[in-house]
Structure 1
Amino acid sequence: MAVKKEWKKLTDFQHARNNNEMYFGSRDEHTQTVLGYEGGKPVIQTHTWIPAVFTAFREVLDNALDEIVTHGHGDRVDITYDMANMIFSITDNGRGIPIDFDEEEQQYAATVLLSETKAGRNFDDRGNSRGMNGIGASIVNMCSEYFQLDITRDKKNFTQRFSDGGSDLHIEDAMILPAKKNAPTGTRVEFKLSSKVFPRMDLPEAFVRARVFDVALCYPQVRVFYNGKRVETAGTVERTVFPDTKPIAFTVREPGFISQFWLVPNFAKDGSEMSHTLVNAIPTFNGGTHVDAFKRKFFSGLIDALAPMSKKRRLTPNRSDIADGLLVFNITEMNAPKFDSQNKTRLINEESSKIVERALAEPEFFKRVIKNNADWMRSVGGFGGSKVV
């Protein structure tokens, strides 16, 4: 008598589509107040989006940035987003994904890399790559209505199309033709996410545009285009984002880790505290160990530096007084970042916390903050019109 099996085994394709939250985060609506840009200047915006849809877009974009920034090939990325049809495309002018035929796999390298999980190049020395485990782009492929791959490399054009095959990924035969003379190398990926996997695909265009602007801010040496138009910056964060203000700036540098902080007092008119942090150009909407450490040490260090004046005037400034309306804007570039999950909303490297804490151990920094921001200090903790020295 046959025993009824009480378990089953899913293919990678089936698992990616049935359990997408494991890879890309929630498929439910998420509403959050984030930083946006108007005319290049920061503004507070509230957006509602599907985290898994945004992660899918980011996974393919991250691959292009890894090729240009981490591996040093190419200097341009073109991004298009058709919100009406939920079609994305990302093009880079790097070397192009390898297209050689792999005898062991009996498949082209590009096919394996974009259709099978746990295949990639960032498993050993990751450097400052965004990719972690060879899962992202292949899962995007499996969760798409179609996924089109166009590569120019080794004087050849490689084209392949993938689509929903019902119970498995349908892979069309690759087409390989000679490239035109002097044709630039690179990779182009176009995909349309499947409504079977993502019943809701809320992803506001303004939100995507702001995240593309983040990339241009992080990498001014890269030419970034969005929907056919160059994303212009003034070369530095100060000149681009804060041309009319003088933010408090602080930079942390150690081998394999650079974290820049800009603080703007009284930024949020409702008095709320605002943070915007980018780790290797990835927006970590829930911050991270590095930002937590910075806030902890900055607030306590500034209160300690104010202590003599506070005691003299019988005032007791606290963290809320300093944080009132404060914007903390951070860009971090580091080796081997670790995130809370595949959707990368929070940095979890504990060493990052220690590095930031060490950098903020110098009392002279806080004395300079007090001296150079007298107007702000007068508004902190009831100092009023008192002279700040």
Structure 2
Amino acid sequence: MSEATKVEAAYGAEQIQVLEGLEPVRKRPGMYIGTTGPRGLHHLVYEVVDNSVDEALAGHCDRILVALNDDGSCLVTDNGRGIPTDIHPRTGRSALETVLTVLHAGGKFGSGGYKVSGGLHGVGISVVNALSEWVEVTVHRHDQVHRQRFERGLPIGTLRSEPGEPGEQGRTGTTVCFKPDIEIFSGGIEFDYATLSARLRELAYLNGGVRIVFRDQRTAALGENGEPHEEVYFYEGGIKEYVAYINAQKDPLHPNIIYVNAEKDGVQVEAALQWCVDAYSDSILGFANNIRTVDGGTHIEGLKTVLTRTLNAFAKKRGKRKDADANLAGENIREGLTAVLSVK
């Protein structure tokens, strides 16, 4: 190899690069959100919404608003407890600034403020901050309103606090408004309504009783009188309503959806099942902590095994199958089945 093609020979301490704060995220965004294409862009919204859903799972939130703005930003607001704003003992900065600027800072590790959580497990909101042109956070907590702005991961000034409005005593919640950075998402930063709508509807089904409002305030979506396009996802029946929604155009074998909800060893298992006569294969959707398990998993395999074993035993008990008969195959039992399985 010639000298011209050799890598620089000098290799000492000065060649070791140290990335601090959120620099690693901006330098290698794919490591954190998978891609800087449309899927990664929409993942930013999911991460912020997941924080609000986590508040709902903890029993502190029942309303979430997601709005798309004309300037390319997205706003997510909830009525949860609000991100803490007191000084964090390790960083010496407010807890809000800490969770926005430090990776793996959050209440979702060990026995913190959450029993169940989705998202990127403590890096979500800081990754959103790192990959956004700007982020503005407003927290209502203890009858105070706290605000702070960040640009490309860096805090602009310090946390500002002021008393809440007279009519808002007792109000709590967090509002995060962010605009993705076009320098990161070079393919464009326009959110697709249908993509976000599908995910938000899914979250509402998986978390029955939580009201999610999705509002498109962009000029192209405004109605004749200038009103924004808005959809409300609210399903008290949870995943039972999800199965009914999936089977809306099918012919059910039985009108009542089978529903199971149990908890063991700290794991909550929820399942809804319905067979249809006009479907020839199964459709099983699995979720773990509200995240779709597209590649299956032990929870899906467990459901299939239980169905096969239980229905074979039931058929023999009712005299539909003799003891000497071979068991019905699992795929035959699941023919026409629509099921939603959620573990948390």
Please state which band the TM-score falls in when normalised by the shorter chain: 0.7 to 0.9
The alpha carbon displacement at 1:143 in A equals 0.8
Secondary structure class of the residue paired with 2:332: helix
Q: For 2:186 and 2:337, how far apart are their aligned partners in 1?
A: 38
Alignment CA distance shift 1:180-1:25 (3 Å): same
Which amino acid is 1:78 matched to? L
1:364 match? none
Taking the TM superposition and a 5 Å limit, the aligned residue runs for 1:1-389 are 3-5=10-12, 6-27=15-36, 50=39, 52-70=40-58, 72-82=59-69, 86-102=72-88, 105-125=91-111, 126-130=114-118, 133-164=121-152, 169=154, 171-183=156-168, 184-200=171-187, 204-227=192-215, 229-238=231-240, 241-242=243-244, 245-266=255-276, 269=279, 271-303=280-312, 305-306=314-315, 309=320, 317-332=328-343, 334=344
Alignment CA distance shift 1:264-1:86 (3 Å): farther
The alpha carbon displacement at 1:192 in A equals 1.6
Over the matched positions of the two proteins, sequence identity in percent amounts to: 26
Name which of structure 1's ranges 86-95 and 111-120 shifts more when overlaid on structure 2.
86-95
Q: For 1:177 and 1:124, how far apart are their aligned partners in 2?
A: 33
Alignment CA distance shift 1:87-1:296 (3 Å): farther
The alpha carbon displacement at 1:102 in A equals 4.5
The alpha carbon displacement at 1:57 in A equals 1.8
Alignment CA distance shift 1:320-1:222 (3 Å): closer
Q: Which structure 2 residue ranges, 5 or more long, are not aligned?
A: 1-8, 216-229, 249-254
Q: Is the 8 Å Cα contact of residues 234 and 240 (structure 1) preserved in structure 2?
A: no
The alpha carbon displacement at 1:286 in A equals 3.1
Q: Is the 8 Å Cα contact of residues 61 and 81 (structure 2) preserved in structure 1?
A: yes
The alpha carbon displacement at 1:131 in A equals 5.8
Q: Is the 8 Å Cα contact of residues 139 and 175 (structure 2) preserved in structure 1?
A: yes
Q: For 1:124 and 1:316, how far apart are their aligned partners in 2?
A: 44
Name which of structure 1's ranges 322-331 and 154-163 shifts more when overlaid on structure 2.
322-331
The alpha carbon displacement at 1:180 in A equals 1.1
Alignment CA distance shift 1:310-1:85 (3 Å): farther
Q: For 2:155 and 2:300, how far apart are their aligned partners in 1?
A: 43
Q: For 1:220 and 1:113, how far apart are their aligned partners in 2?
A: 28
Q: Is the 8 Å Cα contact of residues 210 and 234 (structure 2) preserved in structure 1?
A: no
Q: Is the 8 Å Cα contact of residues 50 and 118 (structure 2) preserved in structure 1?
A: yes
Q: For 2:23 and 2:336, how far apart are their aligned partners in 1?
A: 47
Which amino acid is 2:118 matched to? R
Q: Is the 8 Å Cα contact of residues 123 and 132 (structure 1) preserved in structure 2?
A: no
TM-score, normalization by structure 2: 0.75
Alignment CA distance shift 1:248-1:157 (3 Å): closer
Q: For 2:120 and 2:273, how far apart are their aligned partners in 1?
A: 30
Secondary structure class of the residue paired with 1:122: coil
TM-score, normalization by structure 1: 0.67
Alignment CA distance shift 1:296-1:316 (3 Å): closer
